[in-house]
Amino acid sequence: MYNARAYSARSATSPLAVATVERRDPTEHDVQIEILFCGICHSDLHQVRNEWQSVMPTVYPCIPGHEIVGRVAKVGSAVTGFKPGDLAAVGCMVDSDRTCPECLAGLEQFCPNMTLTYNMPDKHLGGVTYGGYSDSVVVNEHFVLHVPSNLNLAGAAPLLCAGITTYSPLHHWGVTKGKKVGVVGLGGLGHLAVKIAHALGAHVVVFTTSPGKKDDALRLGADEVVVSRNSGEMQKHRGSFNFILDAVSAEHDINAYIQLLGRDGNLTIVGAPEKPLPVSVLGLIFGRHSLSGSPIGGIAETQQMLDFCGAHGITAEVEVIPIQKVNEAYERLAKADVKYRFSIDMASLKSE
């Protein structure tokens, strides 16, 4: 084992602070990565503050971070896909059984024995896994991704969660040219959904509660922008969407969006608010609408998404911060005050 530096939270109410974390020495199939950037996902905030305690309670100390980009420092003897010095990325998962039907289908996100990058039992060291707000991490080769060399690294990091979480349902629900697609909430996930849906050729409509984000939405690739608090603007789109992706982190009225679906239209929720959301069943019945959720994406699909983003020059719009500003960044993220993702420059951890 070796010691890595990290930022960790000791409780749901304590700020993140510098800590030492033990990492395993790479075993034969492992890759040791020096972390260069880690995005701040709203899930990190939910988890650090124990907002998902009814489903996945947080174990403290908690070291969040699952939007990791770095350089390979060491590889195990059986690793074939990476060598020291290569760029490497890690998303929300670090392990699975690789033998169940879900794994064999490349859908590791549904594996009953899947290990998330943080706050899940660590099969190697005991305790729980610790994430990417750290200078180093060791991950099985199967869960390490290749970053296209043309992408800016700080902006590529958020692709590892926000990118795949939006790319996967857009693909699953057949978003292509000629489809009318809504994106609800222009945050970290939402702004990447806009870029990806635009690159897929769809007609993209952004729904935002922040009128000040209108120009950005158009610049990012939206064809239209609706301020969702304006019911007149909302009604103009009634019954017209093939697909709507809802990436809102807080309580809100999803029935207002179900009404906007056309026949057989689907609303997929990727945002994960703390409290349940009421659903109008009649809103689903009339129009044969469907309502779905979607978690991240499999490893093969994550690589496909990275390659797609490489080909289309897609990265997140990031505000790069030193890790010492992480608590301030959390306060701002809670108020939807970030354009559009914080990316931590891990070089800042060296000065701690």
Interface residue with ligand NAP, options 1, 78, 250, 279 (CB under 6 A): 250
The answer to whether 296 contacts ligand NAP (rule: CB under 6 A) is yes
Nearest to 132 by CA among 272, 7, 303, 3: 7
Q: Look up residue 216 and give its two tokens.
A: 């950005």
Closer by beta carbon to ligand NAP, 182 or else 187: 187
Tell me the closest approach of the beta carbon of residue 109 to Zn ion, in angstroms. Answer: 10
Among positions 32, 50, 119, 208, the unique one binding ligand NAP when judged by CB under 6 A? 208
Of residues 26 and 155, the one with the C-beta less far from ligand NAP: 155
- Alpha-carbon dihedral 265, 270, 275, 276, rounded to 10 degrees: 30
Q: Closest separation between CB of residue 281 and Zn ion, Å?
A: 30
Contact flag: residue 116 with ligand NAP (CB under 6 A): no
Note whether 344 binds ligand NAP by CB under 6 A.
Answer: no
The SS3 call for residue 264 is: strand
Site for ligand NAP, residues 175 to 204, rule: CB under 6 A = 185-190
- In three state form, how does the secondary structure of 162-193 look? HHHHHHHHHHHCCCCCCCEEEEECCCHHHHHH
Task: Check binding of 58 to ligand NAP (CB under 6 A).
Answer: no
333 binds, among ligand NAP, Zn ion, none (CB under 5 to 8 A by kind): ligand NAP
Chain positions contacting Zn ion, by CB under 5 A:
41, 43, 96-97, 100, 103, 111, 161
Nearest-approach distance from CB 205 to ligand NAP, in angstroms? 12
Cβ neighbours of residue 187 closer than 8 Å, sequence gap 6 or more: 42, 247, 248, 249, 336, 338, 340
Binding ligand NAP (rule: CB under 6 A), the pick from 94, 247, 261, 349 is 247
Residue 253: partners with Cβ closer than 8 Å, 6 or more residues away: none
Please state the closest distance from residue 264 (CB atom) to ligand NAP, in A: 23
Residue 276 CB, shortest distance to Zn ion, in Å, is 21
Neighbours of 149 (CB within 10 A): 7
How distant, in Å, are the alpha carbons of 4, 64, 319 from that of 316? 27, 19, 9
Are 64 and 131 a contacting pair, CB within 8 Å?
yes
> Is the CB of 34 or the CB of 304 nearer to ligand NAP?
304
Among Zn ion, ligand NAP, none, what binds residue 96 when CB lies within 5 to 8 Å by partner kind? Zn ion
> Judged by CB under 6 A, does residue 268 bind ligand NAP?
no
Q: Which of 15, 76, 295, 322 binds ligand NAP (CB under 6 A)?
A: 295
Environment class of 193 (CB within 10 Å of its CB; exposed 0-12, middle 13-18, buried 19+): buried
57: its two tokens: 């309670």
**Alpha-carbon torsion (291, 292, 293, 299), positive or negative:** negative
For 266, the 3-state DSSP assignment is strand
Nearer to Zn ion by Cβ, of 161 and 192: the residue is 161
User: How far apart, in whole angstroms, are the C-alpha atoms of residue 253 and residue 261?
Assistant: 14
Cβ at position 223, least distance to Zn ion in Å: 27
**CB-nearer residue toward Zn ion: 97 or 253:** 97
Identify which of residues 314 and 333 has a Cβ nearer to ligand NAP in the complex: 333
The C-alpha angle with vertex 149 and arms to 270 and 130, in degrees rounded to 5, equals 50
The residues binding ligand NAP (CB under 6 A) are 41-43, 46, 161-162, 165, 185-190, 208-210, 213, 247-250, 252, 270-273, 294-296, 333, 336
